[in-house]
Chain A
Amino acid sequence: MDINLFIVQFFNALFFASILFLISSGLSLIYGIMKILNLAHGALYMLGAYVTFTVAILWLGMSWYSMLLAYLASILVVAGLGIFIERVLLKPLYNKPQDLQLLLTFALIFILDDIVKMIWGAQYRAFPKIPGWSIPVGDYQIPIYFILTVFIAIGVGLFLHWFFTRTTYGKMVRAISYSLETSSILGINTDRLFALSFALGAGLAGLAGGVAVPLYTASPGMGGDAIVLSFAVIVIGGMGSILGAFVGSLIVGFSRVFMAILFPVFEIALIYVIMAVILMFRPTGLFGMEMRERR
């Protein structure tokens, strides 16, 4: 492979892995804390993409300032929707069989897809160009936006690490993930922390959609691909582990991008081969711990 192409694809893979990390860290933390497998997480990512497109392109016009506001809007809108989903739709199902939660989040995929079609129409919504300038590498270009995205993903990873290890709220969230009963008898408002956790996970999906939309364009159903690959990421990295989501994203991102060039036939297959091999030797994933039932 030409070295310039390799460099460009390296950054392409980093960008892809960063988006995957933003999506899968939210999915993983919702599962790790609440034991809820949110199938609608990809639909939340799609909504984040539409909100960023609307704010940055339709309302404000593209600039770094409008992108920043658009990301914030995506986080807030999707996190707010997350609170509604958790408090109003999921909460009544907590003491019911888990299949009902799966069914509900599965139904939400279609509902959110249709809501998006009603508001924005069925056509693709593409950015006129990738924000920022590009760095020339031989005949190719590396958008500076790729590098910015990597920094956003690293920043989010560091924020989550700080939140869960340095703040009392974060430690309380880790406590409720172990035992709701014990946490509640210690005076912890578990309802509020559940809503906060779901909002945090949903907000990350919103941010992921916002960051991805300049490259991937917004379209109904765009969450489908994202959720499938994110499941592969958290199965490889380990359910509930942010570090696992980070490493899993790099593995999936790099194998997908480089296989597309080297062995296109195995582009998707390799991800699942890696997943199967890891599951054979470490059923909890690379960094996952044994999952406990919610009690």
Chain B
Amino acid sequence: MKIIVDNIHVHISGVKILNGVSLEVGEGEVVGLIGRNGAGKTTTLKTIMGLIRPTEGSIYIERDGSTIDVGRMKPYKIARLGVTLVPQGRFIFPDLTVIENLEVAYGGVPPDDLLEDIFRYFPELKKIRDRKGIHLSGGEQQMLAIARALVMKPRIILLDEPLEGLAPKIVASVRRIINGIKSEGLGILITEAGNIKRIQDLVDRVYGIDRGEIIYSGDVEGIMKDVDARRRIWGF
């Protein structure tokens, strides 16, 4: 399965946010989307997910030999095709327990073997399975947000700044989980605002984005050597 974003433009309240973004991400690879705050990373992910309609351009999902135009599709239908988003801010349902958060994403009580698979990645969640979302720490919420995406058995996951605001110990756990997901052959599109070092050993390749335009596409070492991209993303 592959997501193909083809020259999308997005306007929000009359302001141009994305200006011809094109990118691809397929199963089995981890792709980074690097840009400063306000560059258009979250808008790109939300547009792929159907939460924002592009004013121009197309988004396709290639799956099982067919190409599906998802540019006008509703988010839940895109999710059911095997794409899901772990949003920035996590949005854990606060008055549902850990297990209930997983249940609504699965669409029923998840079978035990699936839960065991999930808890293999997140042993901490197993211990707090009956705790309500509102009582979880930031790290626990981030783990639950990823677990909630995985329980849907997606083929590509969009992770919006998953390491932001986490304690170093939790960052290490989340990085380990992302490596684990990658090794299972899922595709990952991960965004990062400033600290490329946090994801450089996780990603196979990166896109650089600035002011709604893709300004770099290539390997992670290359973006550090690209003077224009470096200046526009990190200001030096």
Q: A: which residues have CB within 8 A of B?
A: 168, 171-172, 174-175, 178-179, 181-191
Contact = CB atoms under 8 A, between A and B. Distances in A.
Given A168-B108, A179-B91, A189 B76 contact: yes
B107 A182 contact: no
B87 interface: yes
| Chief secondary structure at chain A's binding surface | helix
Nearest to B91: A182
B75 interface: yes
B161 interface: no
Contacts of B79: 184-187
Given A168-B103, A168-B104, A175-B104, A184 B93 contact: no
Contact of A187 (B51, B94, B100, B107): B107
Interface in B64-114: 74-76, 79-80, 84-85, 87, 91, 93-96, 100, 103-105, 107-109
A184 B229 CA distance: 34
B152 interface: yes
Contacts of B95: 174, 178
Nearest to A181: B51
Most B-side CB within 10 Å, residue of A171, A187, A189, A191: A187
A168 B109 CA distance: 7
Contact of A178 (B85, B93, B149): B93
Given A178-B93, A181-B51, A187 B87 contact: no
A231 B50 CA distance: 37
B49 interface: yes
A174 B105 contact: no
B103 A187 contact: no
B155 interface: no
A186 B51 contact: no
B205 interface: no
Closest 9 CB pairs of A and B: A187-B79, A184-B75, A182-B91, A186-B105, A185-B85, A175-B104, A175-B93, A184-B76, A172-B104
Nearest to B83: A185
